[in-house]
């Protein structure tokens, strides 16, 4: 079963593709969809089309994101939510299942504590996926963490 984890943003969208094989999780792909500082609708189109392309390439069984919880910068939060809207649309366009987890759920699944910091998340993502180097930047590590969380949490059909 293939899972596409996505960490949305307007400037950078982190993604990670993982496969659960028995009790192990393999990393198939990860990276960033970046957008230049052009008009917002055009940036959203790059994001949407990029996710549609990832789905076409990997044919994942699920698209997974982190629940948005904003308290700090409302304007940035709105832009992240706009980006997420177009990512969820890509899921609907291609008919793949979407699931979301809260940030503490993701940290709990990957590190074992809901209060883990970014460094711990990166360390455990690298270890769980047996990567040769740290997944960077944080957007990528987060996307992989979300995908790993889904592998641990979801009830995969046999």
Neighbours of 140 (CB within 10 A): 23
**Distance between CA atoms of residues 27 and 62, nearest Å:** 15
Q: Is 154 in the site for a copy of itself (CB under 8 A)?
A: no
CB nearer to a copy of itself: pick between 78 and 130:
78
Q: Is 91 in the site for a copy of itself (CB under 8 A)?
A: yes
The alpha carbon dihedral of 105, 17, 90, 95 has a sign of: negative
Is 7 designated active site?
A: yes
Catalytic position from the list 11, 26, 29, 66: 66
- 21, 73, 76, 81: which one binds a copy of itself (CB under 8 A): 81
Is 61 designated active site?
A: no
Helices 118-129 and 103-111: crossing angle in degrees, nearest 10, is 50
Is 139 designated active site?
A: yes
Rounded to 5, what percent of the chain is helix, strand, coil? 50, 25, 30
State the catalytic residues. Answer: 7, 66, 139
Residues that bind a copy of itself (CB under 8 A): 39-42, 44-45, 48, 68-71, 74, 77-79, 81-86, 88-89, 91-93, 98
């Amino acid at each position: 079963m293939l899972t596409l984890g996505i960490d949305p943003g307007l400037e950078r969208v982190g993604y990670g593709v993982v496969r659960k094989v028995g009790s192990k999780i393999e990393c198939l792909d990860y990276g960033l969809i970046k957008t230049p500082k052009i008009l917002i609708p055009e940036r959203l189109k790059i994001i949407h089309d990029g996710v549609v392309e990832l789905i076409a390439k990997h044919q994942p069984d699920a698209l997974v994101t982190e629940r948005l919880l904003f308290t700090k910068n409302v304007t940035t939060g709105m832009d992240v939510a706009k980006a997420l809207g177009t990512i969820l649309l890509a899921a609907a366009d291609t008919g793949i299942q979407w699931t979301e987890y809260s940030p503490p759920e993701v940290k709990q699944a990957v590190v074992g504590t809901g209060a883990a910091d970014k460094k711990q998340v990166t360390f455990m993502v690298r270890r769980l996926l047996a990567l040769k180097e740290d997944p960077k930047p944080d957007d990528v590590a987060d996307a992989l963490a979300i995908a790993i969380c889904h592998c641990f949490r979801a009830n995969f059909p046999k």
